[in-house]
Amino acid sequence: MSEKTEKRYASWLGIIVRFVVASFMMLLMQLIYPNFVFSNWMIGIALIVAISVITYIIERITTLYRTPIGRGIIAFLVTFAILYFGNMSVPGIKVPIIANLITSFVVGMFDIFLPDRVF
């Protein structure tokens, strides 16, 4: 397997892992924080897909993905921005700023500790 194909495989695996982590965190925040609300599950999935894809695109455009701290910062900022602007523009989403910060922080911390190559 060439180096280029191996990088692409690890990146797609990273997107899938990031999707699972963001899904779990949003589900956990809905259980813990009473005002963290999505009107239906399709809105939540659309936000999680947006977080995963935009984080992947930013990591490929910039060189910040090469360090764990860079990946964590990108994940934190993208998650925070998507949830914040989604809260303001999409009807049916109610995400308080504290819940947004906690969710974004945990997703960013997970990206810091996620290894470059999962397998």
Tokens 């995400």: give the residue. 95
Q: Is the pTM of this model over 0.75?
A: yes
Predicted local distance difference test score (pLDDT) of residue 38 = 84
**Sequence spans of domains, the chain:** 3-113
Predicted local distance difference test score (pLDDT) of residue 8 = 45
Tell me the mean pLDDT per 10 residues along the chain, length 119: 48 79 86 84 88 86 78 91 92 90 90 67
Q: Which two tokens stand for residue 61?
A: 């455009």
Predicted local distance difference test score (pLDDT) of residue 117 = 57
How many alpha carbons lie under 13 Å from residue 18 in its C-beta half-sphere?
Answer: 31
Predicted local distance difference test score (pLDDT) of residue 41 = 85
Q: Which two tokens stand for residue 43?
A: 């809105």
Given a contact cutoff of 8 angstroms between Cβ atoms, the answer to whether 91 and 78 are in contact is no
What 15-21 contacts at long range (C-beta under 8 Å, 24+ apart), as own/partner pairs, is: 15/52, 15/53, 15/56, 17/114, 17/118, 18/51, 18/52, 18/55, 18/56, 18/75, 18/107, 18/111, 19/48, 19/49, 19/52, 21/107, 21/110
